[in-house]
Amino acid sequence: MELTQALRRAALLEGSKHALQFEDESCTWSELADRVARMAGALQQLGMGAGDRVAVLAANSGRYVEQFFAPAWGGGIMVPINTRWSVPEMAYALNDSTPGVLIVDEAQAETVPALLKEAPSVKHVILAEPEDRQGFLSYEGLIQSTDPAPDAGRGGDDVAAIFYTGGTTGRSKGVMLTHDNLFFNSLAGMSNLYFHSDTVHIHTGPLFHMAAGARIYTTTVATGRHVVVPGFDPVTVMRTIQEHKVTHMVLAPTMLNMLVNHPDFHDYDLSSLELLSYGASPMAEALIRKIIELVPQAKIVQSYGMTELSPVATSLSPECHRPEHPLFSKVKSAGRPLFFCDVRIVDENDKDVPTGEIGEIIVRGPNVMKGYWNKPDLSAEALRGGYMHTGDAGYMDEDGFVFLVDRVKDMIISGGENVFSAEVEDVLMKHPAVLECAVIGIPSDKWGESVHAIVRLKAGQAATVDDLTAHCRTLLGGYKIPRSIDFWTEPLPQSGAGKILKSELRKPYWDGTDRNIS
């Protein structure tokens, strides 16, 4: 399978159809394919050969969408870089992947001198903006002055992209995703997410993460329409949905929480939405019910996975989100395995656990990554036995539904009892005053670790420690109730994919210790 075949097909069958909208810039499928082919030719002239890397450090834009195909069209590999990283973190990814070309936008241009000092592999820097800037190669100038290159024809097990993990624990790793990996994920999206030729997908999450980036491929395979916004902002998203009649959207639960609780939510017409999907972390049932109430016409689908899975492994179908349907009892699950995924729940020895028992979720299928770039030992460990070991704790019920419990690393052991923080967070989110929360383990002389909650309240709402403790006591066993609670007025720190960065929340409590658990 070749990812570029999807673009060639779209240009052939829907050449004059509106393909891409970014702010006031738009193009058809024929124009998009031509720009991709010309940029591929320009990258080749700058030295990109088969398997060479091209890094992209930029906010979402129409030019970013082109980079999902241009390096592959020319025989290379795209490497998105997280714009929220520090310069040393960016430099690490560049030195690890050793691209010869770096593509940046205006917002990142100021970081280039520091990056070039640290990343000697980068020989050429292209500014992906309509206007030129001294010291940078002109993106538009390269396209206008270069003839279209023939498609290099890479596909199958060839690596198409290296997406770096969020780095929420330890050093970030470059995940090698092949053409087959990404194409199979797109085919799954076509069936599970109801994509069709009239789909209008808004790309609002950061494209340097697979949770958002995968939808570039799926929308192209479906010959739908890309509508791109620079980043997530609730008002911008709602205005764009209304203006462009967006049909499909994916957001992390933290983003959905911000959207449906925005004071201007009812000022916008979101009736065009056909499919609303969420992922990246478990969703509190209270938030699910609110979305069902506010966007009743849209099918709701949960996708569970990770970058290493291209990125989806299971899907929770729309009927599971409808209170009147018998399968609504499964709404807290992450759904069932995709049609090509073999999902198992195993113990520490990779032996299957009994139905309903918690273990680690492992996955096998054509969506599983080729490995970690330059890390054969870590690749072998993660892919041992032919399965991707996700590091997620969960269980499978008798109907094949997978229930997420927590990241294995987020388990709290308090007084010899296992406490899964997601369970406590779900209960806290049921309190009417709670807007967002995170539960972590902190050092305790008595218990080894104690359960600690960090809570942000809704505007105009009030709750005390005693209020929340009493609320939890009605739904949780005593050892699971937070023994301490901090109240924050600012949003909790998030990764680029919208996950709350518990590693950052833990730091003040575990600094000065030899390890971060007891």
No. of helices (H) and no. of strands (E), the chain:
16, 26
Residue 264 — φ and ψ, nearest 5°?
Answer: -100, 10
d(CA 329, CA 343): 21
For the stretch 422-442, pLDDT in tens is 889 989 999 999 999 999 999
Banded pLDDT at 255 (limits 50, 70, 90): confident
Q: At a CB cut-off of 8 Å and minimum separation 6, what does 208 contact?
A: 56, 80, 81, 82, 83, 163, 164, 496
Partner residues linked to 363 by β-bridges? 343, 388
- Residues paired with residue 250 on neighbouring β-strands, in sequence order: 277
The string of pLDDT tens digits covering residues 358-373 is: 999 999 999 999 999 9
User: How many other C-beta atoms are found inside a 10 Å radius of the C-beta of residue 120?
Assistant: 10
Cβ neighbours of residue 513 under 8 Å, at least 6 residues apart? 443
- Are the C-beta atoms of 180 and 332 separated by less than 8 Å? no
Q: What is the pLDDT of residue 406?
A: 67
Instruction: Please give the torsion angle defined by the CA atoms of residues 417, 421, 423 and 428, in that order, rounded to the nearest 10 degrees.
Output: 120
Query: What is the Cα gyration radius of the chain?
Result: 23
Query: Is there a contact between 403 and 423 (Cβ–Cβ < 8 Å)?
Result: no
- CATH superfamily membership of 415-510: ANL, C-terminal domain (3.30.300.30)
The strand order across the sheet containing 342-346 reads 342-346, 359-364, 388-396, 402-407
In 192-334 the beta strands, taken as DSSP E runs, fall at 200-203, 225-228, 248-251, 275-278, 299-305, 312-316
Interval 341-357 mean pLDDT: 96
Q: Which two tokens stand for residue 154?
A: 């890479």
Of 391, 385, 395, the C-alpha closest to 345 is: 395
Which residue is listed with tokens 């403790």? Answer: 469
Helix (H) or strand (E) holding 71: helix 70-73
Q: For residue 257, is pLDDT > 60?
A: yes
Residue 252 near residue 166 (C-beta atoms within 8 A) = no
Cis previous bond, 443, omega within 30: no
Strand-pair category, 275-278 with 248-251 = parallel
pLDDT tops 60 at residue 166: no
% pLDDT > 90, the chain: 76
pLDDT in tens, 12-34: 999 999 999 999 999 999 999 99
Burial of 157 (0-12, 13-18, 19+ CB in 10 A): exposed
Is the pLDDT at 392 greater than 90, yes or no?
no
As a whole number of Å, the end-to-end CA separation of the chain is 48
User: How would you list the strands of the sheet with 484-488, edge to edge?
Assistant: 434-444, 448-457, 484-488
Q: Torsion angle of alpha carbons 129, 133, 138, 140, nearest 10°?
A: 40
pLDDT at position 280 is 58
> Residue 292 pLDDT more than 90?
no
At 222-234, the pLDDT tens digits run 999 999 999 999 9
Distance of CA 292 to the CA centre of its chain: 22
Q: Which ranges in 131-284 belong to alpha helices (H)?
A: 139-145, 179-192, 210-221, 234-244, 253-260
Rounded to the nearest 10 degrees, the angle between the axes of helix 421-429 and helix 285-294 is 40
3-8+17-313 belongs to which CATH class?
alpha beta
What does the pLDDT average to over 204-209? Answer: 92
Q: Where are the domains of the chain?
A: 3-8+17-313, 415-510
CA distance 285 to 403: 13
245: left (phi over 0), alpha (psi -120 to 50) or beta: left
Name the percent of the chain lying above pLDDT 70. Answer: 96
